[in-house]
């Protein structure tokens, strides 16, 4: 390979590395705006304990204005045979008390009255129970990915490419200096 070709290859590698670094540094967070939680309620949907243990008594609330006042509301717990019909109070809120499923995992209490409101909770084994272990009333496991975890490998690759390109340029210059007559 001639010195000129070697220098061109080094410059291309260096430019490619710089481009990768530029993409890593300029990549914006790809967060998405979540749609509003339907329906808008004065008191949000909730559960008394977002991480109950198996068999623990739990009360879920649909939140105010979730359903028309004094209407029948179908209430189910996903993944189980727990279901009932409750009547919404004057504020359109429905409270539903039940025993948490025996199998640990993620569940939802679903209130259906034309609109559907769901409240997530996570059943934990008795040994793993405690605060901060589940999604609870305010948790949301559907957060958008911001891409922050993919920038580091991209930056490392870009730095490696810049380093390789720089090394090739240095090698090409040394080789040119070592040639008799300084042929370019």
Structural domains in the chain, sorted by start:
46-128 (2.60.40.10)
Q: Which two three-digit tokens encode residue 34? A: 């979540």
The pLDDT of residue 178: 79
Q: Which two three-digit tokens encode residue 35? A: 């749609």
The pLDDT of residue 106: 92
The pLDDT of residue 108: 92
The pLDDT of residue 23: 62
- Sheet with 95-99: list strands edge to edge: 46-47, 57-61, 95-99
Determine the Cα–Cα distance for residues 66 and 52; give it in Å rounded to an integer: 24
The pLDDT of residue 134: 46
Which mean pLDDT values do the consecutive 10-residue runs of the chain (184 residues) have? 66 68 58 55 80 90 86 89 88 89 91 88 73 47 61 81 89 81 58
């Amino acid at each position: 390979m001639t010195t000129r070709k070697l220098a061109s290859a080094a410059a291309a590698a260096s430019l490619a590395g710089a481009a990768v670094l530029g993409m890593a540094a300029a990549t914006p967070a790809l967060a998405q705006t979540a749609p509003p939680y339907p329906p808008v309620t004065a008191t949000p949907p909730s559960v008394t304990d977002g991480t109950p243990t198996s068999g623990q008594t739990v009360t879920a609330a649909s939140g105010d204005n979730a359903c028309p006042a004094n209407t029948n509301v179908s209430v189910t717990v996903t993944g189980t045979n727990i279901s009932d019909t409750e009547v919404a109070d004057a504020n359109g809120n429905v409270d539903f008390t039940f025993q948490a499923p025996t199998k640990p995992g993620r569940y939802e209490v679903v209130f259906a009255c034309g609109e559907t409101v769901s409240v997530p909770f996570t059943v934990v084994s008795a040994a793993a129970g405690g605060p901060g272990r589940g999604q609870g009333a305010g948790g949301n496991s559907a957060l958008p990915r911001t891409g922050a975890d993919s920038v580091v490998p991209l930056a490392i690759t870009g730095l490696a490419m810049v380093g390789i390109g720089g090394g090739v340029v240095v090698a090409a210059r040394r080789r040119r200096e070592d040639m008799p007559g300084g042929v370019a």
